[in-house]
Structure 1
Amino acid sequence: MISKLNLENILFLDIETVPETQYFSDLDATKQELWEAKSKYQRKEDFSAEAFYDRAGIWAEFGKIICISVGYFTFKEETRTFRTTSFYGEEPQLLKAFKSLLLSHFSSTKHLLCAHNGKEFDFPYIARRMIIHNIELPYKLNLFGKKPWEVPHLDTLELWKFGDYKTYTSLKLLTNVLGIPSPKDDIDGSEVYKVYYETNDIQRIVNYCEKDTIAVAQIFLRLRGEAILKDEEIIHI
């Protein structure tokens, strides 16, 4: 039961991604052909491969990570705090910094990673981008040979499904129904591409990513039947 898990052993996280280049035309001819083939099912006849390219960030083969935000609980006597920090900048460097955090503070068998839809998106995306950049996978992301119960990942979407695999519940919807402040009060995922490539406002994306990370922790608290975080309990590092 999740109520028995030690909150201090969980690293909550969220990632933001964009297409690897700003424009479809920036891709070489081979990559353009591969994108056209990869995206054909999703875009159908409604969009050309070029018109659909602003959504390429959801595929690790055609996108890149621009921010990883993490958060973790600390308890001192009766005081509960949730500390957040973010890694952003050039992708190889932010991936190495995130890996360093895992190795230094979240590497034992008791530690777990938690994200919303993390098992389908965040965790495999990070692992794939690490491999692309020739970064050896840390234990927490290396799932080769692990049995299902040995995988150190928690997923608030999976927990909310309660075994129902027919539905998808967005982070925005779940925070709404659980009475948690919305993390989408400025931008949402569909706007990250423009904010990154057109306005070059990475700090705005970092703020958005950290809000999502906090929201994941808030959902986890509600699933445990505990009080959500107050603003004064959240510390940005």
Structure 2
Amino acid sequence: MVHTFRLLAAAAYALALPLLIVTAPVRWLASDIAVYERGFRTYDAETRTGLPLAELDRAGRDIIDYFENDARDLRIVVTVNGVEEPLYNDRETAHMRDVKRLMWALYRVNEIALVVVLGYIALAVLWSRERSVRGLATLSLAGLAAGGLVVGLIAAFALTGFDQAWTAFHEVAFRNDLWRLDPDTDRLIQMFPEPFWQDVTYLAGGIMAAEALAVATLCAGYLLRTRSESGSVRGRAGTPAATTAPRGG
């Protein structure tokens, strides 16, 4: 029973590590107002929406807050020609409810993965010492390899055609077609056009790759540095004890 629990704990860590590496950049970018503001200016959201940048920047902050609060609907009021009106129509508001559910799920996965990774290191390595640091490094590399294979396949699919990959993502992530918006009339897609999401996706992918490379380099470097020490310990453990021949009388 104890052995099974140890295997399950190790498997949970190997799964949680790549999940943490994947979800952390997504959560960070979704919560960084600078990403929104840069996108508004790069893709001329002011002209597309007919709203001043100050209003768009405020809306970006409201969206970030919406992902973190308990509100069911995203209600943003903007001023157009001196008249206040909702930023998004009913279809866009309903789609944002779906987006919020997806983001909340991602945030929870991110938090659980962080707890599993830190908890395993604290309990299995530092406290009980059931797994050595070398064992942790090896397990981490195994988790990165498995996660990297899955992420790599997804990245290859996205790089062959972002439009197709973006559509496939929406069809998998959402149960309806509310995400199909009209760029001529719907401000949500005017503020966040597909090229914006392509930039963010590639940026997130670059951060994930850098994180994975840093962890892999640290683990591989430690294994190489301690290889001779580990070999000498095994050698001493496998050497039979010397015996003294009995003296004849």
**Common fold by TM > 0.5:** no
- Normalising by the smaller structure, the TM-score range is under 0.3
Larger Rg: 2
TM-score normalised by structure 2 residue count: 0.24
Higher strand share: 1
Higher helix share: 2
